[in-house]
Amino acid sequence: MSALSVALTGNPNTGKSTIFNELTGARQKIGNWPGVTVDKKVGVIEHNGRKISVIDLPGTYSINARSQEEQVVSDYFKENKPDIVVNIIDAANIARNLFLTVQLMEHGIPLILNLNMMDEAQRHGIKIDMKKLEDAFGMPVTNTVGRSNKSVRKLLDVFTNAVMTNYKPSKLITDHIDRVHKIEQSGLGAAKIEEEVIAARYDLIDKIMASAVTVSAAGKTLTEKLDSYLANGVSSLLLMLATFYLMFQIAFNWIGQPLADELGGFFEETLAPAVAEAMAEAGVADWMQSLVSDGIITGVGAVLSFVPLIFTLFICLSFLDGTGYMARVAFVMDPIMRRAGLSGKSIMPLVMGFGCGVPAIMGARALDTHKDRMISILVTPFLTCNAKVPIIALFAAMFFPDNVANVVFAMYFLGIATAIVMAKVLSTTTFKEQQSTFLLELPPYRLPDIKTVLLEAWDKGKGYLIKAGTIIFAMSVLIWFLSNFNSDGMTEDMNESYLASIGSASSKIFAPQGFDTWESGAAIVTGVLAKEAVVSTMGILYGADEVDPDEAETSAQALLSTNMGGAFTPLAAIAFMVFTQLYSPCVTALGTIKKETQSWKWMGFAFFYTCAVAWVASLIVYQGGKLLGFE
């Protein structure tokens, strides 16, 4: 028998992805649809001797092609004719879900209607007569409880036994389609035609609901009770902050970052020295030893050390999204985010940016429009991620020992203010012609499906490893080459390397900012690889002992004993902090921008425009400070 192709479609929050995960498990291939960053999920299984290819289409409320998701679904049905299309419907919100069903049937797409979460519908006092619903559409109707594997697996029997050519739309549906055709050919204006078609669809839905669905009076639901605190008033903001704080504690203090540190330490302190020693005993050339241990292993280690952090963050986010809480966060923040030219959903990627820019950039894929995704990606690098903190803490401890907390706070505030300003600038210039829509459903609170949570985290983490890692690996080798070679070949003195030459050349553009030494220029260059490298590079170039990015006070004392103390005035130190706070994302984040935007152009734009903003801001700080007499 030939393979069977099945497409799953439906609104967001209908449990469609949970059903897909239950059907296919780990037998999935995750990619992107051509030209967009929307996930493409395909799984292949066998049942009753037939191979079944299941594709999970993006969740969408319609196929009007106004968002990336709608465009993907619309294009898919124009270009593909799957054997079976399953329309997953949230039984507790059947009236709203049927709008997409009617649209699909208008396009002549034969469907199996699957009523999911029937248990929730019953708790809401909703009773659905499946036979009457089947008669109303002229299509088969099934039901599932999404988190029940046994319930979902029954669909496989339906797939292998269904012969969709045997089903024809009912007279009710054909009459509706005729009505829509007449409206479309009426010669009315486009806006009026759309209005009339939408009204016709809701007329049809009202008839179907009246014949097949009974809703009995029910008391106030748990969701309604919780929303009085979680989605309204001051309490919603306080609880949101508490939730973010807990998530960051889990990711950056309790689980994710400690595991990342252990993994990074293994590569840097155990694997790299062991490989170097083995290669030395084998008589391998010095340059090859350095390339493998200092370049490749350290570079790959930098990629892999992010993995526990990324997985922990995405597990937390997927869990919160599965409960329905993330929709409340977007709802609460939308009025505030609108002022910056973004929607409420943008708050989550931006908040993640305070921990690490990589998952923050990846998190932008959850936003509805291309405009919101791109602006979030492009302003996230201005925020104070964990890697920038050592730079701020070091310079604050060196030059402002009595005001360390105030200086650190000022840098955080600067990052937030710059992100807000640039979001507004980008929304009114670069992305002026693009619309930012905010269509949001507040799903009922529910316990997330753990399998779905883990699979979503794995999908995102795997994509980071495979695609971002290749760029990071190449950049790691490049930085190693620049710091170990000059025109005469390999050198043991970094002061004579290409990196020193580049640092010397680049430092000249920072003369107006007061930090035009080649050491500061080289530190800025290595900071593109990883912001933590700025501190360690300073230690190496100024010949300081005991310089540790995690020990600001000790490192400050060590560097003050070198000539670095005289290389910066306090005002120049502030200008340097401002520049490193705002300039280029690290190479890991740049690689992630390339992956998420699928464009070298946007990666280059992110690098150059952040550097330009940082240069101007640090210039204003230094020259303005001089005019005010602070030099």
φ/ψ (deg, to 5) at 77: -75, -20
Instruction: Give the residue carrying structure tokens 């340059």.
Output: 287
Q: State the pLDDT at residue 218.
A: 65
- Domain presence at residue 57: yes
- Domain presence at residue 396: no
Count how many residues are written for the chain: 631
Closest CA to 582 of 611, 606, 616: 611
Distance of CA 280 to the CA centre of its chain: 43
- Domain presence at residue 95: yes
- Give per-residue pLDDT as tens, 175-194: 999 999 999 999 888 889 99
pLDDT at residue 249 greater than cutoff 90: no
Q: Which token pair is 532?
A: 């933590």
Asked if 15 contacts 56 with a C-beta cutoff of 8 angstroms, the reply is no
pLDDT range class, residue 80, cuts 50, 70, 90: very high
pLDDT at residue 467 greater than cutoff 60: no
- Give per-residue pLDDT as tens, 342-400: 888 888 788 878 878 888 898 888 787 888 889 999 999 999 887 888 788 888 888 88
Asked if 288 contacts 294 with a C-beta cutoff of 8 angstroms, the reply is no
pLDDT at residue 274 greater than cutoff 80: yes
Overall number of domains in the chain:
1
Closest CA to 130 of 114, 117, 145: 114
Distance of CA 550 to the CA centre of its chain: 27
Higher pLDDT, 585 or 461: 585
Mean pLDDT, the chain, rounded, equals 85
φ/ψ (deg, to 5) at 442: -100, 95
Alpha-carbon distance of 89 to 107, in angstroms, equals 18
- Give per-residue pLDDT as tens, 399-438: 888 888 888 888 989 998 999 999 999 998 888 776 655 5
Higher pLDDT, 262 or 461: 262
pLDDT at residue 92 greater than cutoff 60: yes
- Domain presence at residue 40: yes
- Give per-residue pLDDT as tens, 510-530: 999 998 888 888 889 888 877
Exposure string for 235-274, b = 16+ CB within 10 A, e = fewer: ebeebbeebbeebbebbbeebbbebbeebbeebbeebbee
- Domain presence at residue 150: yes
Q: State the pLDDT at residue 34.
A: 72
Helix (H) or strand (E) holding 17: helix 16-24
Q: Which token pair is 447?
A: 């316990």
pLDDT range class, residue 151, cuts 50, 70, 90: confident
DSSP 113-145: EEEE-HHHHHHTTEEE-HHHHHHHHTS-EEEE-
- Domain presence at residue 238: no
| CATH number of the domain to which 43 belongs | 3.40.50.300
pLDDT range class, residue 575, cuts 50, 70, 90: very high
| Rounded mean pLDDT, 570-597 | 91
| Rounded mean pLDDT, 60-65 | 86
pLDDT at residue 601 greater than cutoff 90: yes
Q: State the pLDDT at residue 437.
A: 58
- Domain presence at residue 65: yes
Beta strand spans in 487-616 (E): 489-490
pLDDT at residue 561 greater than cutoff 80: no
User: Residue 602: exposed, middle, or buried by beta-carbon count in 10 A (0-12, 13-18, 19+)?
Assistant: middle
- Domain presence at residue 343: no
- Give per-residue pLDDT as tens, 222-232: 888 899 999 88
Q: State the pLDDT at residue 286.
A: 85
Q: HEC profile for 279-345?
A: HHHCCCCHHHHHHHHHHHHHHHHHHHCCHHHHHHHHHHHHHHHHHCHHHHHHHHHHHHHHCCCCCHH
Q: State the pLDDT at residue 10.
A: 95
* Nearest-5° Cα angle at 236, 230 to 240: 95
Q: State the pLDDT at residue 264.
A: 78
Q: State the pLDDT at residue 543.
A: 63
Q: What percent of the chain has pLDDT over 90?
A: 35
Higher pLDDT, 68 or 497: 497
Q: Which of the 8 DSSP states describes residue 14?
A: S
pLDDT range class, residue 607, cuts 50, 70, 90: very high
Neighbours of 542 (CB within 10 A): 19
Q: State the pLDDT at residue 280.
A: 92
Provide the terminal-to-terminal Cα distance of the chain, rounded to the nearest Å: 82
Higher pLDDT, 358 or 1: 358
Q: Which of the 8 DSSP states describes residue 448?
A: P
Domain assignment of residue 189, given as a range: 4-215
38-42, 103-107, 307-311, 337-341: range with highest mean pLDDT? 103-107
**Whole-number Cα distances in Å, 165 to 5, 51, 138, 243:** 15, 20, 12, 51
Q: State the pLDDT at residue 537.
A: 74
